[in-house]
Amino acid sequence: HILHDNYDRCVRIPMVAEARSLNLSNCVAICVYEVLDQLGFPELSHTEVIKGKDFLQQFD
The DSSP line for the chain is: -HHHHTGGG-------TT-----HHHHHHHHHHHHHHHTT-TT--SS-TTT-TTTGGGG-
pLDDT in tens, the chain (60 residues): 898 999 999 988 888 888 888 899 999 999 999 999 999 988 887 777 788 778 888 887
Range of the domain at 46: 2-59
Q: What is the pLDDT of residue 38?
A: 93
CA 17/CA 19 separation, integer angstroms: 6
Question: For the chain, what is the domain count?
Answer: 1
Q: What is the pLDDT of residue 5?
A: 96
